[in-house]
A and B are shown apart, each in its own frame.
Chain A
Amino acid sequence: MKQILPLLLLLLSCGPAMAATPEEQGLEIAIEADRRDTGFGNYTSDVKMILRNKQGQESTREIRSKTLEVDGDGDKSMTIFDAPGDVKGTALLTFTHKEGPDDQWLYLPALKRVKRIASDNKSGPFMGSEFAYEDIASQEVEKYTYLFLRDDVYEGMDVFVYERYPVDEKSGYTRQVVWLDKEHYKQRKIEFYDRKDALLKTLLFTDYHQYLDQYWRAHDMYMENHQTGKSTRLLQTNFNFQAGLTDRDFDKNSLKRAR
């Protein structure tokens, strides 16, 4: 018995690999990745996006971002635009939901107007970049179904490779292939396949930093569009976890006060 128990625990800890079907294995990996990122509470960060077209011309976007974890539902986020100049002060409030469409309100500072926006627009480009709204929205387990593909090695790291299929039919993708490292369950690479199942984009995550001894955030996300030759590098800095944010920092009143 004494010898069997550690063995049993070892088997259990291998969880994903032991699950019955590839679908269950994929789901278990996603649940574990989500569990490891649960409990961060709230944080703020600064984001700079460098958009590059096929000819190599660059333009930049600067935003400030606030995120609030919500028990039992998707995260809330507030995004304030600093550049380019004409959208300076524009702010976007998003309530992501585990199920059903997300809620989004856009604040237009020139008119002082808060506009509800149709959240069907998830496949649209975010600020003209190669990131779609759905790529930067909070990644909820329930937004996909899963299929485990294989164990692999990616840049010297042991990784799980699995596919996920968006539940929402308004998504711009048929499937995504995810490379997730086994050590910390961090996403390392995602391939996006368009509605015709052709490879559309590849997203690479690098420069990971750990916060509060638990939560990993990639400071560099590089998205390349294989069909257009355009790319966007999203650099996230100045992470401030446990920033003291509450529900009140994510309502229409705070949206109107955003500067």
Chain B
Amino acid sequence: MRLLRKLAAVLLLPATALHAGEWRGYVAGEWLGFLEDPAYPDQHSSYLSLAAEPEYFHEWNEGSDLFTFKPYGLLDQHDSERTHADIRELSWDHAAYDWELRAGISKVFWGVTESVHLVDIINQTDLVVNIDGEDKLGQPMLKLALIRDWGVIDMFLLPGFRERTFPGKEGRPRFAIPIHENSVRYESGAEEWHTDAAIRWSDSIGEFDIGLAHFYGTSREPRFLAEPPAINPVTGSIDHLTPYYEIIHQTSIDLQAIYGSWLWKLEAFTRSGQGDRINTAAGGFEYTFVGVKASQLDIGVITEYLYDSRGEELDPGKAFASEPFSLSPFQNDLVLGTRFTLNDVNGSELLASVILDLDGGGQSYNIEASRRLGNDWKLSLEARGLSNAPQDSTLSSFEDDTRLRMELARYF
């Protein structure tokens, strides 16, 4: 009978959802400007775009049930690959006392570090929105959470795979060789319909927040192939790269400890299925000076070390032999950053960081600042650049892409 009631609740969901609910979200205009001339033909010096992400939600049964619909759309002035729409969320959540169920398209975040998000694997990265990789595509899922005294177990069934988005020929920044979204290769015969699975245990124990997870399925992070038709043996050039999605096993840990003003963080995974076993780790700390000089200003100091067993040098031999290879930028790198939180009425913040390649592979710089304008507007500024990247490194493609980004968002 209870099951029947639940089933009825699900079936009636769209009807109930139409009643009382709430819309919220934002519309944002963005300008992206580059200091250097374009490195590749078809690229531009200035890009305007418009994005919107409304969210509709409806709660019932005193908040035990939740329906969410969050579409997303982006219109870019030049890059037709960047112009896209997505359903970020379309899901039903049910919460009982010691379990929770989610069915539909949704988003899940795992991780603790600031500079990279190694263990965050459930959702595909929507790379064309921003190169920081923090925007994600909606992922179809069935998620069951068991809430126990000894922690939370999250179990995922993930039917349907989302391909990573890449900038088009006119997009900037992009890899020297464009990545074709139309010619995708999969290891699995089921291609994008391979059902992936994941399980995660997480708990807060005193000063520690810990998560252990295992993922089996299609790697969100592809390797790349130069397929024979894309290789021109006469000129020795490659026309485009094809993303290659393999079946992987990935086991990960994320750990955070808090001691007064110290936050200690660690993320690491080990992955099989993409050639040699891949091991990565990111760890470090954030220390916050609260109320500097009796003001309201907080200054945070961030230090993180990044390790990746994959090399960051490009191997042209592999590419011309049509063998898959990785494009991974951080092999042995140190991140130094500082965060200014003004705690003012406008919520002003500034984060500046530099990633130093400890093998002499150059530095990348990043400054992000934001403040509110009035009650409903927010202005964000971002500057990113790169220097001294060696010719044979993954990052060298972006050497001439020093850029400023300005975004004005209206929230409703």
Where the two chains meet, the residues of A that have a C-beta atom closer than 8 Å to any C-beta of B are: 51, 53, 59-60, 83-89, 101, 103, 111-114, 116, 118-121, 123-125, 128, 170, 172, 194-196, 244, 246, 248, 251-254, 257, 259
Contact = CB atoms under 8 A, between A and B. Distances in A.
27 contacts: A51-B345, A53-B345, A85-B375, A86-B347, A86-B378, A86-B411, A113-B111, A116-B209, A116-B258, A118-B258, A120-B261, A120-B288, A120-B290, A123-B291, A124-B290, A124-B296, A124-B298, A125-B296, A128-B346, A248-B95, A248-B98, A251-B147, A253-B95, A253-B152, A257-B95, A259-B57, A259-B66
Nearest to A115: B112
Contacts of A259: 22, 57, 59, 66
Contact of B262 (A113, A118, A251): A118
Contact of A111 (B97, B109, B288, B409): B109
A85 B376 contact: yes
B256 interface: yes
Residue of B22, B100, B107, B291 with most chain A CB atoms under a 10 A cut-off: B291
Contacts of A116: 209, 256, 258, 263
B318 interface: no
In which size bucket is the chain B interface? 35 or more
Nearest to A246: B97
Interface of B: 22, 24, 26, 57, 59, 62-63, 66, 93, 95, 97-98, 100, 107-109, 111, 134, 145, 147, 152, 202, 204, 209, 256, 258, 260-263, 288, 290-291, 294, 296, 298, 343-347, 372, 374-378, 409-412
A88 B24 contact: yes
B294 A195 contact: yes
B352 to A, nearest CB: 19
A89 B134 CA distance: 18
B347 A87 contact: yes
B377 to A, nearest CB: 8
A112 B111 CA distance: 11
A83 B372 CA distance: 12
A133 to B, nearest CB: 10
Given A59-B375, A89-B24, A112-B107, A124 B93 contact: no
A120 B258 CA distance: 10
Given A84-B411, A253-B147, A170 B294 contact: no
A37 B150 CA distance: 32
Contact of A194 (B24, B100, B294, B376): B294
Contact of A121 (B145, B298, B346, B374): B298
Given A111-B109, A118-B258, A124 B291 contact: yes
Contacts of B66: 257, 259
Please name the 9 residue pairs, one residue from A and one from B, whose CB atoms are nearest each other, closest first.
A85-B411, A128-B345, A85-B376, A112-B109, A86-B378, A84-B375, A120-B261, A113-B109, A125-B343
B57 to A, nearest CB: 5
Contacts of A195: 294
Contacts of B100: 253, 257
Contacts of B411: 84-86, 88
B290 A121 contact: yes
Contacts of B62: 244
Contacts of A123: 290-291
Given A116-B258, A124-B343, A252-B204, A84 B372 contact: yes
B260 A248 contact: no
A220 B298 CA distance: 29
Contacts of B346: 128
B343 A254 contact: no
